[in-house]
Amino acid sequence: MNQLRKQPWFRPAVTCGLLLACLPGRGSTATWSVRAQPARLVNGAPVLFQVKAPAKLESLTGSWLGHQFSFSYNASTRTWFALAGVSLETAPGRYTLELTGARTGTKAPFTFSRQFLVAHASYPKIKVELTVEKKFTEPTPEQLRQIEEGKKIKQDYLNRVTPDRQWAGAFTAPADAPISDVFGSQRIFNGKAQSPHLGLDFRVPAGTPVAAMNSGTVLLARPLYFEGNFVVLDHGQGLLTLYLHLSEFKVKEGDLVKRGDVIGLSGGTGRATGPHLHVAVRWQGVNLDPARLMQLALP
């Protein structure tokens, strides 16, 4: 007894903590493991959620920032994965990812939730005075009609969510060229502040081949007022990539493309100050930073 009393008072607690941490396997089979890539989430960024469930699931869905989405299963790593995103407008704070799994032979919901911290990303405020033709800042009635038509087409197509995933592996650059404007920067046209730059610009001369950033289906390949010759690829599960100001189309709507396939040639059609390639990424109607998407190591 005397021996025991001489033990430091904190000893049992420390031993207990170590035991819990060291028990092999017990925690990993009984609990969910949910990871985000990148680990630090910011507004405007895509995120890869990877989930290991404590039971065999038939399907897994997620709810995040008001969006519902489904996960794919990687049998070799026994991991469920899905791409999602955080809108540019999302305020810093803690947000919950709710997971719902379906198990064979049971209708009971199998759920788990985890909070993620979203930090504030600082995007450049480049106050560059750009001169754009008057038809883009003070359009005529006929031009207004074309603008309205373009708006309707974009509303119809750019918020689509097709259930099957077509993307696989990393998203790659559509051109091997320097970046001339990043996502999120603030631009000014004819002295008037515009909404933030919602894409990534590549400095390419007209006629440069533009490659598909991943596999998908051509959702749009048509001229629009602001976008010029415009190609949109649907990679499935609500993920789209957009290619603007092309001089020429190399695909048509409905075509299947693989990563690296040439979808068009660069140009300066639509609202552009000169030839360049503007690419954009949308997830369920949310604009995401293409540069950050390309940095993700994807399954």
Q: Which of 81, 85, 167, 201 binds Zn ion (CB under 5 A)?
A: 201
Phi, psi of 3, deg, nearest 5: -60, -45
Q: Which one of 14-22, 80-88, 252-260, 278-286 is the stretch in contact with Zn ion (CB under 5 A)? A: 278-286
- Indicate the residue among 99 and 277 with the shorter CB distance to Zn ion: 277
- Indicate the residue among 165 and 292 with the shorter CB distance to Zn ion: 292
Preceding amide of 38 cis, omega within 30: yes
Q: Give the span between the Cα atoms of 128 and 161, in whole angstroms.
A: 36
- Indicate the residue among 201 and 227 with the shorter CB distance to Zn ion: 201
Closest residue by beta carbon to Zn ion: 278
The verdict on 250 binding Zn ion (CB under 5 A) reads no
Q: Which one of 42-50, 94-102, 109-117, 194-202 is the stretch in contact with Zn ion (CB under 5 A)? A: 194-202
The verdict on 199 binding Zn ion (CB under 5 A) reads yes
The single-letter code of the amino acid at 196 is P
The verdict on 278 binding Zn ion (CB under 5 A) reads yes
- Indicate the residue among 62 and 290 with the shorter CB distance to Zn ion: 290
Residue 142: in which H helix or E strand, if any?
helix 141-157
Q: Give the span between the Cα atoms of 165 and 100, in whole angstroms.
A: 19
What are the structure tokens assigned to 35, written together? 């990871």
Q: Which residues contact 82 (CB under 8 A, 6 or more apart)?
A: 48, 49, 62, 69, 70, 71, 72, 237
Number of residues counted as binding Zn ion (CB under 5 A): 3
The verdict on 289 binding Zn ion (CB under 5 A) reads no
What are the structure tokens assigned to 113, written together? 């939730």
- Indicate the residue among 165 and 278 with the shorter CB distance to Zn ion: 278
- Which residue ranges make up the site for Zn ion (CB under 5 A)? 199, 201, 278
